[in-house]
């Protein structure tokens, strides 16, 4: 029996359908793989003889320096195809195969696109999918940057409840029951946005059993899954206990995955990558053609050289080093929180990411406490309200990041927070 392909036209909005490929960009892609005898008179590429940067050497921790000269340096400074440096795209496809073992049902029709950070890829994907007033499914607390992308579309948010393990499948099913499965109703949602691993802000890692239930529901109701996973390489569980990605369990081409190098290589290089069904990823590429053109050439060349030097084993060794570093910091913050916040706050030990999600049951809203009185006492946290779809709803939560503050400051920070909360309780 031949598997019926998804009808992606249902998900793509009219503006995106109107976008046409840029001929200049398409010519740039052809030129990238053209034979040496090709005479390039088509594009307005600047002449590299006038680039003032002639060579570059980057030192690598526990590795050989990366030196760019001659043609390599020219490539790092020149326009690239929108899809990305061909060598890097090839490496990323191999990485996705290794890390996720995607189904053979979808892999031949899967595309990988290098983006200027994973958030840029997410933003452009949402530009492809959203209409004004679209119904948007998301969990109770989400990354504030995602809300900033979506809010101007004046969406109808349908919030799905979550707990210490992430989104609750039973509540997702309850929300979806407002529509018939596979409904063509314009008010029906097109996708579920989810941050399944080390979620920002909650730090939760969605268990495998929940992922399967969620995927089944999205299949039943014909939804895409936007798997925003920038903390995938920042998990604190043993390898055998780590749940598979949605991308790895996708057999129908309904998962669009967003990965990031920001947390593991550098946030400043601004590199991420989108992996998903070609009809959707190609649309995202068209949106890139009219904005950034392509992700930074220099960043792509450097990362490609680094991945080549490391190989898969070296890359995995680096990930282990990163995860151990952040896990130690997490443990120190938990130790400080246990000492000063027990009995006053509620929190779970995060299984991934960079954040401790804290509930203060005795306080109706943490906003003024953090944004006014907290700053006055030289302690900075994020109030939970920043991560809610409804900005008018008070929040009892706050987010503490354990990524960059000195470890020696964790205990005084939690002590100040405890004092702040006790003072706030007296004011109410």
339-360 per-position pLDDT tens digit: 999 999 999 999 999 999 999 9
Q: Distance between CA atoms of 424 and 379, rounded to whole angstroms? A: 15
The shares of helix, strand and coil residues in the chain, as percent rounded to the nearest 5, are 45, 15, 40
User: Which residue from 42, 123, 121, 36 is spatially nearest to 83, judged by alpha carbons?
Assistant: 121
Q: Distance between CA atoms of 51 and 41, rounded to whole angstroms? A: 20
pLDDT confidence bin for 58, thresholds 50/70/90: very high
Structural domains in the chain, sorted by start? 50-76 (no CATH), 77-311 (3.40.640.10), 325-427 (3.90.1150.10)
pLDDT of 30 reads 79
Express each pLDDT in 277-317 by its tens digit.
999 999 999 999 999 999 999 999 999 999 999 999 999 99
CB atoms within 10 A of CB 47: 8
Q: What is the mean pLDDT of the chain?
A: 94
pLDDT confidence bin for 101, thresholds 50/70/90: very high
CB atoms within 10 A of CB 76: 22
Q: Residue 309 contacts by C-beta under 8 Å, 6 or more apart in sequence?
A: 60, 63, 64, 66
In which element (H, E) is residue 113 found? strand 110-115
Does residue 3 carry a pLDDT above 60? Answer: no
- In this structure, of 41-45, 136-140, 284-288, the range with the lowest mean pLDDT score is 41-45
Q: Quick one: what percent of the chain has pLDDT higher than 90?
A: 84
CA–CA distance from 227 to each of 121, 198, 205, 387 (Å)?
12, 12, 13, 17
Q: Span 212-222, mean pLDDT?
A: 97
HEC profile for 319-388? HHHHHHHHHHHHHHHHHHHHHHCECCEEECCCCECCEEEEECCCCCCCHHHHHHHHHHCCCCCEEHHHHC
pLDDT of 31 reads 77
Q: Distance between CA atoms of 178 and 37, rounded to whole angstroms? A: 61
Question: Which burial class, exposed, middle or buried, applies to 103 when counting CB atoms under 10 A from its CB (0-12, 13-18, 19+)?
Answer: middle
Question: Which burial class, exposed, middle or buried, applies to 5 when counting CB atoms under 10 A from its CB (0-12, 13-18, 19+)?
Answer: exposed
pLDDT of 25 reads 72
Q: Distance between CA atoms of 271 and 158, rounded to whole angstroms? A: 31
Q: Span 247-271, mean pLDDT?
A: 97
pTM: 0.94
Does residue 213 carry a pLDDT above 90? Answer: yes
pLDDT of 387 reads 96
- In this structure, of 48-52, 193-197, 310-314, the range with the lowest mean pLDDT score is 48-52
* 8-state DSSP, 242: P
Express each pLDDT in 387-414 by its tens digit.
999 988 999 999 999 999 999 999 999 9
Express each pLDDT in 59-76 by its tens digit.
999 899 999 999 999 999
pLDDT of 172 reads 98
pLDDT of 208 reads 97
pLDDT confidence bin for 4, thresholds 50/70/90: low
Does residue 262 carry a pLDDT above 80? Answer: yes
Does residue 2 carry a pLDDT above 80? Answer: no
Express each pLDDT in 150-177 by its tens digit.
999 999 999 999 999 999 999 999 999 9
CB atoms within 10 A of CB 317: 13
């Amino acid at each position: 029996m031949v598997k019926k392909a998804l009808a992606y036209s249902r998900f793509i909005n009219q503006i995106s359908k109107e976008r046409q490929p840029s001929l200049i960009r398409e010519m740039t892609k052809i030129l990238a793989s053209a034979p040496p005898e090709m005479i390039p008179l088509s594009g307005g590429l600047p002449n590299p003889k006038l680039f003032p940067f002639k060579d570059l050497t980057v030192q690598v921790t526990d590795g050989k320096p990366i030196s760019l000269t001659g043609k390599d340096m020219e490539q790092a400074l020149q326009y690239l195809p929108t899809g990305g440096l061909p060598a890097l795209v090839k490496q990323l496809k191999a990485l996705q195969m290794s890390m996720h073992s995607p189904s053979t049902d979808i892999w031949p029709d899967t595309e990988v696109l290098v983006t200027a950070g994973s958030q840029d890829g997410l933003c452009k994907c949402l530009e492809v999918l959203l209409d004004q007033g679209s119904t948007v499914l998301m969990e109770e607390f989400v990354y504030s940057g995602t809300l900033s992308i979506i809010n101007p579309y004046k969406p109808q948010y349908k919030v799905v409840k979550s707990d210490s393990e992430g989104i609750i499948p039973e509540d997702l099913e309850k929300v979806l029951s407002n529509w018939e499965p596979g409904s063509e109703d314009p008010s029906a949602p097109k996708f579920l946005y989810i941050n399944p691993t080390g979620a920002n802000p909650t730090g939760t890692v969605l268990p495998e059993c929940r992922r399967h239930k969620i995927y089944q529901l999205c299949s039943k109701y014909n939804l895409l899954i936007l798997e925003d996973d920038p903390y995938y390489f920042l998990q604190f569980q043993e390898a055998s206990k780590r749940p598979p990605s949605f991308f790895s369990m996708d057999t129908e081409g309904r998962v669009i995955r967003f990965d990031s190098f920001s947390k593991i290589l550098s946030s400043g290089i601004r590199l991420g990558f989108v992996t998903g069904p070609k009809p959707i990823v190609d649309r995202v590429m068209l949106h890139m053609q009219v904005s950034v053109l392509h992700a930074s050439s220099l960043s792509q060349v450097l990362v490609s050289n680094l991945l080549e030097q490391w190989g898969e084993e070296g890359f995995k060794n680096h990930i282990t080093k990163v995860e151990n570093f952040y896990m130690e910091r997490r443990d120190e913050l938990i130790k400080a929180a246990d000492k000063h916040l027990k009995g006053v706050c509620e929190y779970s030990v995060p299984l991934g990411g960079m954040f401790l999600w804290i509930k203060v049951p005795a306080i109706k809203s943490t906003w003024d406490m953090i944004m006014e009185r907290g700053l006055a006492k030289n302690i900075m946290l994020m109030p939970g309200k920043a991560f809610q779809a409804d900005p008018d709803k008070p929040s009892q939560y706050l987010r503490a990041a354990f990524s960059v503050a000195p470890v020696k400051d964790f205990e005084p920070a939690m002590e100040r927070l405890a004092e702040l909360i006790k003072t706030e309780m007296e004011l109410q």
